[in-house]
């Protein structure tokens, strides 16, 4: 049976019989959530600036598969000079949460603490009623296979619909302003962004990726 925890609906963690004894082994779902990553005022300012920025465009995916899979309006803010204050605040917040996330997984901690990984610039997206992102994984086709950790933060509360669903993990996350999710981008974690029923949904996303140009010193 699912249980609710402050907007997060959590099902079973995928307990499986042990290889020899038949005992149930509890498997972690690797999805971690960090509340109040941005303040309410920060979230509102990001939304205000997004709505005023005429460079936003129809949402796309890495394979340009639209609108069948993904629909909305987006803006890659990380490389825009006018957005550098927000990009810097995002970078600092992500790093804080990433270090907390990596503490739970020592092998990941070793990787993210070296120059072998880097963080992609944040992408801002708006999703209206009737729009969303169908079931997908974040690391698949060329140009995405270097992703190690997916990062998603909501900028606005959504009261009905709009949740992020991880069907394999039996988890639904209700959007709350300033709530950041970190999770694996692999085939183990297919997920979908359900359309908001009323109101608007705003996300900031980025990834921790392997730096393919990094070479350790000899």
165: domain CATH number?
2.60.120.620
How would residue 26 be classed by pLDDT, with cut points 50, 70 and 90?
Answer: low
- Residue 44, number of CB atoms within 10 A of its CB: 14
Residue 194 lies in a domain: yes
DSSP 81: G
Residue 99 lies in a domain: yes
Please state, in angstroms and as integers, the Cα–Cα distance from residue 86 to each residue in 10, 43, 63, 91, following that order. 31, 10, 27, 9
- Number of domain units in the chain: 1
pLDDT digits 0-9 by tens, 42-59: 999 999 999 999 999 998
pLDDT digits 0-9 by tens, 156-167: 999 999 999 999
Residue 2 lies in a domain: no
Q: Which domain holds residue 69?
A: 36-210
**Structure confidence at residue 3 (pLDDT):** 38
pLDDT of 201 strictly over 70: yes
Residue 147 lies in a domain: yes
Q: How far apart are CA 124 and CA 72, in angstroms?
A: 10
Residue 145 lies in a domain: yes
- Model-level pTM? 0.84
Extended strands (E) in 86-170: 117-119, 123-127, 132-136, 147-154, 164-166
């Amino acid at each position: 049976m699912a249980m609710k925890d402050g907007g997060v609906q959590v099902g079973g963690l995928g307990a499986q019989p042990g290889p020899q004894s038949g005992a149930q082994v509890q498997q972690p779902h690797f999805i971690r959530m960090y509340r109040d990553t941005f303040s309410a005022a920060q979230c509102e300012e990001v939304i205000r600036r997004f709505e005023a920025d005429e460079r936003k465009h129809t949402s796309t995916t890495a394979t340009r598969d639209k609108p069948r899979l993904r629909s909305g309006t987006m803006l890659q803010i990380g490389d825009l000079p006018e957005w550098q204050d927000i990009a810097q605040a995002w970078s600092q917040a992500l790093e804080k949460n990433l270090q907390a996330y990596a503490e739970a997984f020592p092998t990941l901690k070793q990787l993210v603490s070296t120059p072998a990984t880097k963080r992609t610039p944040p992408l801002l997206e708006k999703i209206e009623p009737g729009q969303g992102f169908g079931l997908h994984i974040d690391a698949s086709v060329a140009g995405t296979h270097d992703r190690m950790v997916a990062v998603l933060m909501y900028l606005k509360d959504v009261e009905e619909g709009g949740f992020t669903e991880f069907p394999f993990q039996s988890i639904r996350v209700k959007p709350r302003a300033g709530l950041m999710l970190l999770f694996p981008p692999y085939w183990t974690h297919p997920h979908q962004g359900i359309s908001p029923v009323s109101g608007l949904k705003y996300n900031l996303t980025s990834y921790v990726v392997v730096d393919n140009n990094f070479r350790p010193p000899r």
